[in-house]
Structure 1
Amino acid sequence: MASHKSALKKHRQDEKRRVRNRQHASRLRTQVKKFRKAVASGDEKAARELLPETLSLIDRTAKLGVLHANAAARSKSRATLAVNKLSSPTR
């Protein structure tokens, strides 16, 4: 266990941040799972309704530093492509 005052404070801060980050990450994973389920089932209407909420949550999670900015951009791009693929006519 840490013995310096500053190390103890850092430990407390890290623990608070870890808990907060887990909450945000869990909420994001749940939303992404709902979105992917809608896409996988081919339900374009549901996927289009979930897309803005999912993208917003990805942005907020990246802003908080839980998700890397490039990972967020990649996820948003892939989500948008998935929805667009549902609406495009198949060849």
Structure 2
Amino acid sequence: MANSPQAKKRARQNERRFAVNKARRSRIRTYLRRVEEAIASGDQAAAQAALRAAQPEIMRGVTKGVLHKNTAARKISRLSARVKALSA
């Protein structure tokens, strides 16, 4: 348990950051799920639109420190490849 005033303040700050980051991660996962569902339905137009909506959200996660840059790039790359494969 935190005893010093500084440690108590840090604990409060950590709780707030945790809540914000958790909400951000959840939001990103929602966008990813929408793309996955569109791909599963086989609708390329819907999948393309969902991917276009998800990309900025994923990259925002990078700038806010929720995701690593390479992780985001990998997710976007793999999703776009799957969306592109729907047309073939």
Whether these two folds match at TM > 0.5 is yes
Q: Which runs of 4+ in 1 moved over 3 A?
A: none
Q: Kindly state the Cα deviation for residue 69 of structure 1 after the two structures are TM-superposed.
A: 1.2
Q: Identity over the aligned pairs, expressed in percent?
A: 41
Tell me how large the CA RMSD over aligned residues is: 0.9
1:34 aligned residue: 34
1:77 aligns with 2:63: no
Displacement of 1:41 in angstroms is 1.3
The one-letter code matched in structure 1 to 2:27 is R
Superposition TM-score, scaled by structure 2 size: 0.94
Q: What aligned pairs does 1:1-91 form with structure 2 within 5 A after superposition? A: 1-88=1-88
Q: State the 1:83 CA deviation.
A: 1.1
Gaps of 5+ in 2: none
Cα separation, 2, equivalents of 1:53 and 1:4: 45
CA distance in 2, matches of 1:7, 1:74: 37
Structure 1 Cα separation of the partners of residues 64 and 33 of structure 2: 21
Report deviation, 1:87: 1.6
3-state secondary structure, aligned to 1:67:
coil
Give the residue type in structure 2 aligned to 1:82: R
Shift of 1:6: 1.1
Aligned residues: 88
